[in-house]
Amino acid sequence: MINNNMIRIGIIGLGYVGLPLAIEFGKKFNVVGFDKNPVRIFDLKSSLDKNKDIKKKQFKQSKKLNFSNNLIDLKKCNIYIIAVPTPITSRKKPKLKYIKEACLDVSSILKKDDIVIFESTVYPGLTEEFCVPILQRKSGLAYNKDFFCGYSPERINPNDKIHRLKNIVKITSGSNNYTANFVDNLYKKIVTVGTFKASSIKVAEAAKVIENTQRDLNIAFVNELSIIFDKLQLNTYEILKAANTKWNFINYQPGLVGGHCIGVDPYYLTCKSKQVGYNPKIILAGRKLNDSMGVYISNKILNKMKMKNIKVNQSKILFMGISFKENCSDFRNSKVFDIIAYFKNKCHSLEVYDPIVDSKEVYKKSKIKLIKYPKKNYYDVILILVRHKFYKKLGVNKIINFAKKNSVIFDLKNLFIKENNYIR
């Protein structure tokens, strides 16, 4: 058993999930934030979060937190929280490389009575069926006798300044009653709105994966509505605004579904579903529709260009926004890349303007050079694809000034709904 006065926490993975955890726990306990990326560790030691999620003053408030990319620095920890990415492969299968590596790392330093808590989104059963055997094999320790496990799924919404770790109810679970209570009490120390203790690790895993699957399906539904209403020459946003006047209408917005959660997690659930002999229908149908929206929107833009007699091979196109969601620097799995790929070899020139993201990281991952500022009276097509507040502040008049006279200005997310007479 771990004495509360002796708690030392090691957090493996310092991205959007792990860093906020490290910051909050570092106010209460001795914490080592571990990440294999030496550049990330260098930045964090300098109180710099390039994800623009944690501010400098928040680092200073976390007085018991240290950062390291050296596994040896985790050896004195007795609580390990694994918060690494769980992406998918090109074939839409769970990619377990990072969680496997994290388990191997922890297993090499795991001691008697240690607790390993997983935050990464997984399918029901993965913790005990995949992770635990790895931890046992290399450590030589017995599960639920020598070491214990918990699962507390992350509910982070990147760059959301309202819904933060401290004020989002935390689901907790453990491999036995003692561990479940310990994990629950541990998170209660940093989550002010309280916790929900699930009856088992599998229940907690399933609860997390259906949260994002439900959201994916709801967006797929409104995306399909937008296709129907486009054909009827009706404004989807006006219709949703009217429908939202009913108290029980759920107001989802159409758009591109990217990122590392909503467009990924349903495949974890469907993978497990197929393993137990059921081929899911609705979940995969929603995924198929959302994955196809990049091509649908590209064709829609192409038709608008034809209506204006803009020749694609002579066109200059400006993309405004490349991140997977508004006001966020994360561009992983952004569906804007689908639209860029569609036009890249068709148009004369293509420029991308997104001051929110790290231009060096974008170039490193995609070889796309972001521009510092658009040119005046230059573009045949302007695509406002991400609803950044920055673009709203920039204003519709300045955006119009970037365009030639006979141009297409396409406002995907209706950022300028009140000024839509000016958006062509």
Residue 342: closest CA among 317, 361, 372: 317
**Do 23 and 132 lie in a common domain?**
yes
Instruction: Annotate 59-86 with three-state secondary structure.
Output: HHHCCCEEEECCHHHHCCCCEEEECCCC
Q: Are residues 307 and 171 in the same domain?
A: no
- What's the start-to-end Cα distance of the chain, in Å? 66
Three-state DSSP state, 250: coil
Say if residue 185 is in the same domain as residue 313: no
- Within 10 angstroms of residue 99's Cβ, the number of other Cβ atoms is 25
Q: Which of 163, 198, 233 is the last residue of a domain?
A: 198
Residues 176 and 307 in one domain: no
Q: What is the pLDDT of residue 230?
A: 95
In this structure, is residue 28 part of a structural domain? yes
- DSSP letter for 370, please: B
- Minimal CA–CA distance to 399: which of 369, 368, 378, 372? 378
Distance CA 223, CA 231 (A): 13
Question: Which DSSP symbol is given to 241?
Answer: H
Would you tell me how many other CB atoms lie within 10 Å of the CB of residue 242? 10
Q: Is residue 344 part of a domain?
A: yes
Q: In this structure, are residues 23 and 62 in contact, taking their beta carbons and an 8 Å threshold?
A: yes
Tell me the longest C-alpha to C-alpha distance in the chain: 74
Whether residue 190 sits in one domain with residue 83? yes
CA distances from 354 to 53, 321, 325, 328, 387 (A): 17, 5, 12, 10, 11
147, 177, 198 - which closes a domain: 198
Number of domains in the chain: 2
SS3 192: coil
Looking at the domain assignment, is residue 235 inside a domain?
no
- Mean pLDDT by groups of 10 residues along the chain of 424 residues: 87 97 97 98 96 92 97 98 97 97 98 98 98 97 98 90 92 98 98 98 98 97 97 94 97 93 96 98 98 97 96 97 94 95 95 96 95 97 96 94 94 78 48
Residue 424: the pLDDT is 47
CATH code for position 180: 3.40.50.720
The answer to whether position 380 is within a domain reads yes
Statement to judge: residues 135 and 15 lie in one domain: yes
| Range of the structural domain that residue 183 is part of | 4-198
pLDDT at 397: 92
189 & 304 share domain: no
209 found inside a domain: no
b/e map 377-412, b = 16+ CB within 10 Å: ebbbbbbbbbbbeebeebebeebbebbeeebbbbbb
Residue that finishes a domain, picked among 198, 216, 245: 198
- Residue at 318 is within a domain: yes
Q: For residue 166, tell me if it sits in a domain.
A: yes
Q: What is the pLDDT of residue 1?
A: 72
The residues assigned a catalytic role are: 261
Same domain, 193 and 66: yes
Domain check: are 57 and 182 in the same one?
A: yes
Domain-located, residue 132: yes
